[in-house]
Amino acid sequence: MRPILLALGFFLQLTAFSQQTLQSPEKFLGYSLGSRYTNHYQVVQYFQSVAAAQPGKVKLVNYGKTYEGRPLLLAFISTEENIRNLESIRINNLRLAGLSKDKIAPTETTPVLVW
């Protein structure tokens, strides 16, 4: 539950910097975060609403399903430029970790990745 609250809190901060108005998690859910249990489908719906409101800054990727058949989502949240360049950022991260098979030198100034 803690990671969900942290992710929702991050989205709340994202709303302060966005040009479009996004609903806060509290407004979307109808209650304060942490005051009651938030169902999986509600978290998914909120992430989907944020991605729809900020398509250039948020990208959702469905990477699987839970054992109950619920979607597992990965949310990329960044600037529009970084969202457009996700693949090159991923490859550069592999180079920095020494896991890339190519011989190209990695770029040292790269966006920070948080999992």
Measure the N-to-C terminal CA separation of the chain; round to a whole number of Å.
16
Q: Which of 70, 47, 69 is nearest to 60 (CA)?
A: 47
Q: Is the pTM of this model over 0.85?
A: no
Using one digit for the tens of pLDDT, what is the confidence trace for 2-25? 555 445 555 555 544 444 579 999
Those residues with Cβ within 8 angstroms of residue 78's Cβ, 6 or more apart along the chain or in another chain: 57, 111
Q: For residues 3 and 96, which has the higher predicted lDDT (pLDDT)?
A: 96
Q: Average pLDDT of 60-76?
A: 96
pLDDT tens profile 26-57: 999 999 999 999 999 999 999 999 999 999 99
Name the token pair of 1. Answer: 């539950």
In the three-class reduction of DSSP (H, G, I as helix; E, B as strand; rest coil), residue 96 is classed as helix
37 phi, psi to nearest 5 deg: -70, 140
